[in-house]
Amino acid sequence: MTAPTVAELVEQQARLTLPRFTHDDAWRLGTVLVDLARERNAPVAIDVRRGPQQLFHAALPGSSADNDAWIDRKRRVVERYAESSLLVGTRFRAKGGSFDADSRLDRDRYAAHGGSFPITVAGAGVVGSVTVSGLPQLEDHALVVAGLERLLAGA
């Protein structure tokens, strides 16, 4: 899997803007991600939030509490930057640096690794996040993107 560019990630985030985001939408997104993960036999944990409220969580076979810790670290990056965790990390690398060395944020609390994505609503901006942990970072990110695309297709 080839790492996307900053431009590709920016376009992806703009394209994956939702018309609304309700509790029912959070449930649909979470169950879509569970279905996609099961199709791929992916040992992941999934987290969907609106603001600070966790609206959906699932831990599939093979995942562990470590995945929940990674979810928290990646989600904090989305909350701070209002961009996907992969985009934030890619921006740092594109400038010749690294998030861990150059962000000046605590590595135990923040991780700019792929897998967390802002939930953006048209006219409202970023209202939450969706995060997957358990696969290599590009695969975590791709799973979240596939889930948002499937949610939008049924919206």
Confidence of residue 92 (pLDDT cuts 50, 70, 90): very high
Range of the domain at 42: 6-153
Q: How far apart are CA 137 and CA 144, in angstroms?
A: 11
Confidence of residue 1 (pLDDT cuts 50, 70, 90): confident
> Would you say 89 and 81 are in contact if contact means Cβ atoms under 8 Å apart?
no
- Domain membership of residue 14 (yes or no) is yes
For 42-85, the pLDDT digits (tens) are: 999 999 999 999 999 999 999 999 999 999 999 999 999 999 99
- Domain membership of residue 134 (yes or no) is yes
SS (HEC) of the chain: CCCCCHHHHHHHHHHCEECCCCHHHHHHHHHHHHHHHHHCCCCCEEEEEECCEEEEEEECCCCCHHHHHHHHHHHHHHHHHCCCHHHHHHHHHHCCCCHHHHCCCCCCCCCCCCCEEEEEECCCEEEEEEEEECCCHHHHHHHHHHHHHHHHHCC
- Domain membership of residue 113 (yes or no) is yes
- Domain membership of residue 1 (yes or no) is no
Q: Decide if pLDDT at 86 tops 90.
A: yes
**Model-level pTM?**
0.96
> What share of the chain in percent tops pLDDT 90?
98
The CATH number assigned to the domain holding 116 equals 3.30.450.150
Average pLDDT score over residue span 142-149: 98
Confidence of residue 155 (pLDDT cuts 50, 70, 90): low
The count of structural domains within the chain is 1
- Domain membership of residue 39 (yes or no) is yes
